Structure formats: structure tokens, C-alpha cells
Copies of this chain bind each other. A is one copy, B any other.
Amino acid sequence: MTRATKKKAGENPEKTTRIQEINRRLILDAALDAFSTYGFRGTTIDQIADKAGMSKPNLLYYFPRKQNIYVTLLEETLEEWLAPLAEIDPEGDPIEQLRKYITLKIRMSESHPEASRLFANEVLHGAPAISEFLSKHLKPLVDEKAAIIRRWVGEGKLAPVDPYHLIFMIWATTQHYADFDVQVRAIMGNQVGRPGFNEQTAQAVLSIILNGIRPRL
């Protein structure tokens, strides 16, 4: 026996057991909560293990490094996060396509604010773990959609507007409600939780942006 390596979950390639599936999920859910609130450095493995209801060594059996959990989470999140952008249809009506996109983005910020904050935190700190993703996946997709928007502008279907800055504005505005939630609450107080607040937000954002880019005569 020359093998001296320790056994880790998923050692057996291609094989994930039922227990592995359950526990990985428990860990990732707990970690998303913690990382999105306290950041990478601010979160301890013990915290995550506690929240996931298992011992620290057990957690480390599934993810040998803290960094692994973090990166896995980011990867899981990013694809989902980008999906709405990919759905913009070059053949559709420009205003309608952008309305749909903005609406989807707002809904995502409402339903997955932790994901938004996880991502925001990573980018804010220089995106050390995902800089490759940004250049290899995000940039090409944005370039593609920017070209579509530019064409729409050329055809007079949108007011003259830089497509990149338009996309940034949509990102910034929609994610603001997740990332700066505390600030929004401090200012708008009890309104935030109230029924209809989300619709009101979507309405306000859509109104300003869509009117801002509607073709002018």
C-alpha cells in the first residue's frame, strides 16, 4: 500500500452518495447566509458548521478548505445571476425586452438578496476569486447584448444611449435594493416590508429607465 492520502468526500470519482448531496447542500446554504452577511474573512468555519448542524471536522470532510465552499457558492450563484441577461431576444421589441430584463433582475434581488450581497462583496474587494469568470464569461455575454442594444439604437428604436452604461445602470439600480437594504430600510422605514412595496419599486425603476431610453422625436 503506497497510498497514504486521507479519505475525503467524493474521493471516489463520479460518485456522490445521498448523504453527500444532503450535507453539501446544508453546508452551502449555511455558508451563503454567513458569507453574504459577514464576508469571507468575517465568517468562521465553526459558524458555518454550527448553522449547518454538524461538527467542523465533518464540514471539512466535504469541503477541505474554507475557500472551496466560497468558490463553489460563487460559481453556483453566478450562472443563475446571469441567466436573465442571456434571455434578451435580439428579435423582440426593444422596450419590451428591456422591461422584461429589468423586471427579472428586480425579482432576483428580492428573492435572493444574499446571492446579490455575496457577489457584491466579492467584486467590491477586487473579485480575487472570480476575475477569470468576469473576463471569460461575463464580458463576452455583455458584449453580445451591448451589440444588440447598439443596433436598436441605430435603428431608431431607442434613444441614443451607450449600451454598456445602460446595462451598468440596470445592474446598479436593481441590485441596490438587495445590497443596500439596510440603508433603504433606514430611509423608507416600515414601508419596505409592506405588501406592494416591491411592485412600487419595480414600477419606479422601470418608469425612469424606460422613459430615459425611449426614442425621442
14 A–B contact pairs at CB < 8 A?
A: A39-B42, A121-B124, A124-B180, A131-B186, A134-B182, A139-B187, A161-B207, A168-B180, A169-B173, A169-B208, A172-B176, A208-B209, A208-B212, A211-B216
B182 touches A131 (CB 8 A): yes
Determine, out of A49-57, A60-68, A197-205, the stretch whose residues face the partner at the interface. A197-205
When distances are taken between beta carbons in the complex, the residues of chain B under 8 Å from A38 are 41, 125
- Are A134 and B186 also in contact (CB < 8 A) when A41-B41, A123-B180, A173-B173 are? yes
A101 to B121, CA, bound (A): 27
* Nearest 3 A/B pairs, CB to CB: A212-B212, A165-B204, A172-B176
State in angstroms the CA–CA spacing of A205 and B208 once bound together.
12
| Most B C-beta atoms less than 10 A away, residue of A166, A168, A189 | A168
Residue A159 lies at the interface, judged by CB distance under 8 Å to chain B: yes
Separation of A37 and B123 alpha carbons in the complex (Å):
10
Cβ A127 vs Cβ B169 within 8 A:
no
Interface majority SS (helix, strand, loop, mixed), chain A? helix
Chain A interface size band reads: 35 or more
Q: A120 interface residue, CB < 8 Å from B?
A: yes
Return the CB mask of A99-139 against B: 1 if under 8 Å, else 0.
00000000000000000010011011111000100110011
Say whether A179 contacts B37, CB under 8 Å. Answer: no
Contacts of A210 in B (CB 8 A): 212
- A81 contacts the other chain (CB 8 A): no
Say if the beta carbon of A183 comes within 8 Å of chain B: yes
A39 to B159, CA, bound (A): 40
Closest to A167 in B: B187
Chain B: CB-nearest residue to A122 = B182
Contact of A120 among B124, B159, B201 (CB under 8 A): B124
